[in-house]
Amino acid sequence: MIKRKIKHKVIVNLPNNILFTSLAINLMGIFFIFEASSVNSFVNFQDPFYYVKLQIIWFLAGLFLFFFISKIDYHRWYYLAFSIVVFNFAALILVLVPGIGKQIGGARRWIDFGFFNFQPSEFAKLAMILYLSSWFLKKERKQFASFLILLGLTMFLIMNQPDLGTGVLIFSLSIAIYYFAGLNYIYLIYLVLLACVLVVIGIAIAPYRIQRLYAFLAPESDPLGIGYQITQMREALSSGGLFGRGIGFSEKKFLFLPEAHTDAILPIIGEELGFIGLMIILLIYFYLIFNLYKTAISAPDRFGFILSGAIMLYFILHLVINVSGIAGIIPFTGLPIPLISYGGSNLLISYFLLAIVYNIAKQI
């Protein structure tokens, strides 16, 4: 009887754990976005609060979206998934059209609505999670060919932007959802092998990717050129030591580390808080992931299990790919960390997905 009461208490607290842990992570992220971007903001916009003010606006919009989506029964996404994936393909095609897609730094990844730059590749993560979770709800034979076509078309459109980091994440996410669905695992081995071949070809035909690979293998050979960003990130982490340089005392934020408030925000956090401070923030992040895991294994039905498990992997893969790139385990792809890195599209999608898990947790 005592064990039942404890278990019931854990399940009841699950939705609040998801909400409040997400808010805590996001508020810490906003603070460190200011820390990482204040100099950049002042130099480019004469306002040290430029980026953090924008992020606060997206934070408030994300909260509104969270409370709206969390009221929708998660079973409804099963019926809306097809419409969402069709919209996703339309957006991924439109962003490649000159005059519609906004080109920044050689990449065409945004559609400019004036007040908001919409990034279809971020929406593609949401679309694939919802569609594949509903598609694999029932175990049917001969699904792999259709799955391969859907994934291949999505990857083709994303890689033409180009957006390697998002492409890697969506591929990994799709494979994981297929695995969760309990379908024929042997096909996944062939798919992974095929993907490895395509990655080698993709790197070989794109000179900038060859440079990134070289920077990954030997960043110290050209610390002021192709290895500059990786070298600066490692220097930031090493200079932080165990306890950090102190809040506000980062040196790399003085324009040494490009776009430090986006995908390279963890080195700034490590520089100011040190290894211990960075680990504490990552442990809080792991606590959020643990609550998403508890939601998945306790989900009321198979759809809730696949859906919440896929959303859990969304956060895990972002974190693992980003940290692995910074640590030099894999090439740095520029993938943001949800709730921590700067960016409106990623933040809104993250709150959208968290709201779905929140609704699933409320029904346990």
pLDDT greater than 70 at residue 151: yes
Q: With a cut of 70, say whether residue 331 has pLDDT above it.
A: yes
pLDDT recorded at residue 252: 84
User: Which amino acid makes up residue 143?
Assistant: Q
Decide if 349 contacts 125 (C-beta within 8 A).
yes
Average pLDDT of the residues in 40-67: 93
d(CA 330, CA 333): 9
Tell me the average pLDDT across 194-213. Answer: 68
Q: Which residue has the higher pLDDT, 178 or 57?
A: 57
Least confident of 58-62, 203-207, 230-234, 318-322: 203-207
| Top-ranked range on mean pLDDT: pick from 102-106, 218-222, 316-320, 325-329 | 316-320
Q: What is the pLDDT of residues 264-317, one digit of tens each?
A: 899 999 999 999 999 999 999 999 999 999 999 999 999 999 999 999 999 999
Of 43, 42, 64, nearest to 53 (Cα)? Answer: 42
Report the range out of 215-219, 247-251, 318-322 with the highest average pLDDT.
Answer: 318-322
Among the ranges given (105-114, 197-206, 280-289), the one the predictor scored with the smallest mean pLDDT: 197-206
pLDDT at 5 (0 to 100): 39
**Has residue 63 got a pLDDT over 80?**
yes
| 162 upstream amide cis, omega within 30 of 0 | yes
- How confident is the prediction for the chain on average, in pLDDT? 84
What's the pLDDT tens digit per position in 154-182? Answer: 888 888 877 778 888 898 888 888 877 77
**Contact predicate 125/293, CB 8 Å:** no
- Provide the pLDDT confidence category of residue 84 given band limits of 50, 70 and 90: very high
Poorest-pLDDT segment among 16-25, 156-165, 221-230: 221-230
Per-residue model confidence (pLDDT) at position 55: 95
pLDDT bin (cut points 50, 70, 90) of residue 7 is very low
- Going by C-beta distance under 8 Å and a sequence separation of 6 or more, which residues neighbour residue 93? 157
Identify which has the larger pLDDT, 274 or 229. 274
Spatial strand order of the sheet with 101-104 comes to 101-104, 107-112, 117-118
